[in-house]
């Protein structure tokens, strides 16, 4: 599981994702939110994916209300981005609003200190967004199906920070 924190704004972070990640992050984000919901004593509703690896570093990093709010907003932005790019809703589109109702308290959203799970990449970059962008540039060189449907590739992707 991974959250690509490519910008402090969940909406912009999602717009910077390549198509391959927009597709797969819908499930991964729902799994993360299911883990958070269960950890808080909530019950999964029909259609919600079962928690996958509640001990995963990304799940453990979602440990404050502000981070939960950010991930819930990221999930909602993912669903809107999926619809925009591919012209149809993702199978989990209806869950994003429900996760927000159950988990988001309407307070501030903060992505700082979310996990950096880079198994195949190392960086000393102290800034979370810069580290994730460096990792994303690295991933681009390894994925053949790298596309941006109905979006321009972000300018920062081609340059060193």
pLDDT tens string 103-151? 999 999 999 888 777 878 888 888 999 999 999 999 999 999 999 999 9
Q: What is the pLDDT of residue 110?
A: 95
What pLDDT was estimated at residue 59?
Answer: 92
Percent of the chain with pLDDT over 70: 99
pLDDT tens-digit map of 57-78: 999 999 999 999 999 999 999 9
- Listed in sequence order, the DSSP H helices in the chain are 10-15, 19-39, 57-61, 65-86, 93-103, 128-140
Rounded CA separation 155/68 (Å): 29
Instruction: Show the CA angle centred on residue 143, arms to residues 157 and 85, nearest 5°.
Output: 70
What is the distance between the alpha carbons of residues 36 and 105, in angstroms, rounded to a whole number?
Answer: 14
d(C-alpha 45, C-alpha 24), whole Å: 21
Q: Tell me the Cα Rg of the chain.
A: 15
Whole-number pLDDT of residue 34: 96
Alpha-carbon distances of 78 from 10, 12, 19, 93, 145, rounded to whole Å: 9, 10, 11, 9, 19
Q: Which residue, 42, 29, 98, 41, is CA-closest to 70? A: 29
CA distances from 89 to 10, 52, 84, 94, 154 (A): 19, 23, 9, 9, 24
């Amino acid at each position: 599981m991974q959250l690509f924190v490519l910008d402090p704004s969940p909406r912009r972070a999602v717009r910077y994702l390549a198509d391959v990640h927009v597709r797969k992050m819908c499930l991964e984000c729902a799994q993360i939110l299911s883990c958070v919901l269960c950890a808080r004593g909530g019950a999964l509703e029909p259609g919600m994916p079962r928690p996958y690896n509640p001990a995963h570093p990304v799940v453990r990093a979602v440990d404050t209300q502000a981070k939960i709010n950010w991930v819930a907003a990221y999930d909602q932005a993912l669903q809107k981005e999926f619809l925009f790019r591919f012209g149809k809703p993702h199978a989990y589109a209806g869950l994003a609003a429900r996760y927000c109702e159950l988990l988001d308290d309407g307070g501030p959203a903060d992505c700082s200190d979310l996990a950096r799970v880079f198994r195949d990449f190392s960086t000393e970059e102290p800034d979370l967004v810069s580290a994730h962008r460096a990792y994303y540039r690295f991933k681009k060189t390894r994925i053949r199906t790298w596309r941006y449907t109905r979006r321009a590739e972000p300018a920062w992707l081609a340059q060193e920070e």
